[in-house]
Every structure is written in structure tokens, then in C-alpha cells.
């Protein structure tokens, strides 16, 4: 939760020097390298020849879903702020749950409907209270919001595809294939020369952003060994608050890299409603909907 809570701050700082495609390409490349080395050391590299036709289609959907999620989230973050992006992306797990309701005929408990309604109401309240602090360029602000909403939808597409693909490949194998395929797509489109313009601190931030996903995934997987998935999801729902707290601290310590972000008291009420709604959706889950551990941004936290 802490790792995913700090990720948008790192990405926002990098967007001053790098474009979204370059950041996304670097993150996918590093993630593919780390997971690939891990699987290779265990002699568990995936054999895609075992996939049937539906498996290959699901893998393609996973690549498209997570690739667009990473890019759309970063583009939206560039036009909004870490707190705004983090609150909006909380739509992703409930959308995934709704997808399970429609596609997999899973049941939705009454408390989950209440939680989902509370989440939507909290989002509306948050934007209404926070809009007065937005820049004069409202078109850019709303465009950024739309990008992050799109990121949430594509994360849900990735999640539903991965859920079915787990019957043919392990989670780590799926993620390695997705990371590698996305790296192959994004790296050639990246502005590699811009990386050489970064100073030491900026390289440290970029390295953290690149490794954040792998480290957070490891922590998430370990947590599932000790707690029920619903409890883990409930903890991860606290991520927007973590982002707001870290943004305040980072803005005081290093305002040149992390500009301070103003949050109104009413907006915090909206964030609380979003978090509480996410927790209700998670704890009231009585079906088998699985929440994939990776979202390019912390959709479940």
C-alpha cells in the first residue's frame, strides 16, 4: 500500500523531464528484466506453445489492457495531480467486480452495491470540492480525469483476461509475458536520449518508479499468504490517503521535485467516502473475483 501510494508522486516528478511513453517503456523493460531473471533462475520461463487459441487471445487482451492502463494513467497524471489520479483509479477494482458479475455470473452482495454507490458519490463530492483549486485550464484537467478513468477500465479488462488466463499460465508467467510484450511496443517509441539528461536524483526516482511494481507485487503476494484477499484489498483501499500524506510530506521536504498539493477539507470527505466504498466492496465480496496484483498504478492501492 505504501509503495503504490508513493508511485504517483515519483511519476509526477519524472513527467517534468520525460514524456509518458518513455517512462512507461522504461518501467516495462525493468519489470520484464527482473521477473524474467527470477523465472529463469527457477527454470520456469513460460512456454507459450502450450496456449490454445483462447489463451493467446486472453494474453493479447492482457497486454493491451495493462499497456493502455500504464500509458493512460501516466497521461492523466500529467494533466491532473497525484491525489486526483489516485482517487479516480479506485474505480478499477469495482469495475473488475462488476465485470465478474456480468461475464462470470458472480453474485454482488447488497453491501457491495452500497459500497459502489458510496464510491461514486465520493468521487463526485471530491471533484466538486477540489475543482475550485484546479488550474484555469479546465479542459486539460477534465482530459486528465478522462485518461485516468480510461486507465481504470483497461485495468479491469486486464484483470478479467488474467483471471481466465490463470487456468493455463501462472501469475508470474503471465506478468512476464505482458511486461515483455509491452516493453517491445513502448521502448522503440521512447525518447531514449532524454534519459541521459537526468541527474542523479532523477535517476533514483526513475529507478524507484520502475522497480515499484515488482516490489509492490512481491509484498502483495506475501500478504496473501497471511491474510484473506478481502482483508488485503481493504488495506489497499487506503492508498489515496497514503498518497495525500506522502504528497504533503514530500512537498515540504523537496518542493523542487514534489510541488505541494492543496486538498480542501470537503475533498477529504469525498476521499473518505471513496475509501470506505472500496472497503465495503472488498470486504463484502462473496464471490471468487480475483484482483490481479499489478495495475501500473495502484488501482487497489
Please, which pLDDT band fits residue 293 given cuts at 50, 70 and 90? very low
Specify if 301 maps to a domain.
Answer: no
| pLDDT tens digits, one per residue of 90-122 | 888 778 777 777 776 667 678 878 888 888 888
Residue of 19, 47, 12, 3 whose CA lies nearest to 195: 19
| pLDDT tens digits, one per residue of 146-205 | 999 999 999 989 988 888 888 888 888 888 999 999 999 999 999 999 999 999 999 999
| pLDDT surpassing 60 at residue 135 | no
pTM of the model: 0.86
Specify if 189 maps to a domain.
Answer: yes
- Which domain range does residue 76 map to? 2-283
Mean pLDDT of 260-264: 75
Domain count, the chain: 1
> For residue 95, what are the CA distances in angstroms to 30, 58, 165, 261?
28, 18, 19, 28
Specify if 250 maps to a domain.
Answer: yes
Kindly report the three-state secondary structure assignment for every residue of the chain.
Answer: CHHHHHHHHHHHHHCCCCCHHHHHHHHHHHHHHHHHHHHHHCCCCCCHHHCCHHHHHHHHHHHHHHHHHHHHHHHHHHHCCHHHHHHHHHHHHHHHHHHHHHHCCCCCCHHHHHHHHHHHHHHHHHHHHHHHHCCCCHHHHHHHHHHHHHHHHHHHHHHHHHHHHCCCCCHHHHHHHHHHHHHHHHHHHCCHHHHHHCCHHHHHHHHHHHHHHHHHHHHHHHHHCCCCHHHHHHHHCCHHHHHHHHHHHHHHHCCCCCCCCCCCHHHHHHHHHHHHHHHHHHHCCCCCCCCCCCCCCCCCC
| pLDDT surpassing 50 at residue 285 | yes
| pLDDT tens digits, one per residue of 43-60 | 888 888 888 888 999 999
Specify if 291 maps to a domain.
Answer: no
Specify if 297 maps to a domain.
Answer: no
Specify if 289 maps to a domain.
Answer: no
Specify if 294 maps to a domain.
Answer: no
Amino acid at each position: 500500500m505504501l509503495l503504490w501510494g508513493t508511485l504517483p508522486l515519483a511519476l509526477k516528478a519524472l513527467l517534468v523531464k520525460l514524456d509518458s511513453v518513455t517512462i512507461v517503456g522504461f518501467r516495462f523493460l525493468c519489470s520484464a528484466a527482473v521477473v524474467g531473471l527470477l523465472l529463469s533462475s527457477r527454470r520456469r520461463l513460460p512456454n507459450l506453445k502450450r496456449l490454445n487459441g483462447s489463451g493467446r487471445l486472453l494474453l493479447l487482451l492482457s497486454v493491451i489492457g495493462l499497456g493502455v492502463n500504464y500509458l493512460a494513467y501516466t497521461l492523466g497524471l500529467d494533466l491532473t495531480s497525484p491525489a486526483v489520479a489516485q482517487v479516480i483509479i479506485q474505480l478499477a477494482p469495482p469495475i473488475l467486480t462488476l465485470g465478474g458479475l456480468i461475464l462470470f455470473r458472480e453474485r454482488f452482495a447488497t453491501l457491495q452495491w452500497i459500497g459502489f454507490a458510496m464510491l461514486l458519490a465520493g468521487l463526485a463530492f471530491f471533484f466538486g470540492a477540489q475543482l475550485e483549486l484546479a488550474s484555469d485550464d479546465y479542459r486539460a484537467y477534465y482530459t486528465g480525469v478522462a485518461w485516468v478513468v480510461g486507465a481504470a477500465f483497461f485495468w479491469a479488462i486486464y484483470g478479467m483476461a488474467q483471471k481466465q488466463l490463470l487456468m493455463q499460465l501462472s501469475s508470474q508467467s503471465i506478468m512476464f509475458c505482458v511486461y515483455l510484450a509491452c516493453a517491445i511496443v513502448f521502448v522503440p517509441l521512447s525518447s531514449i536520449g532524454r534519459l541521459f539528461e537526468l541527474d542523479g536524483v532523477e535517476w533514483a526516482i526513475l529507478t524507484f518508479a520502475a522497480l515499484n511494481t515488482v516490489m509492490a507485487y512481491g509484498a502483495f503476494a506475501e500478504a496473501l499468504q497471511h491474510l484473506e484477499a478481502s482483508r488485503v484489498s481493504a488495506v489497499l483501499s487506503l492508498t489515496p490517503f497514503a498518497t495525500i500524506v506522502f504528497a504533503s510530506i514530500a512537498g515540504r521536504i523537496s518542493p523542487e521535485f514534489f510541488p505541494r498539493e492543496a486538498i480542501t477539507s470537503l475533498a477529504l470527505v469525498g476521499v473518505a467516502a471513496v475509501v470506505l466504498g472500496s472497503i465495503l466492496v472488498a470486504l463484502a465480496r462473496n464471490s471468487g473475483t480475483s484482483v490481479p496484483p499489478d495495475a501500473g498504478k495502484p488501482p487497489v492501492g
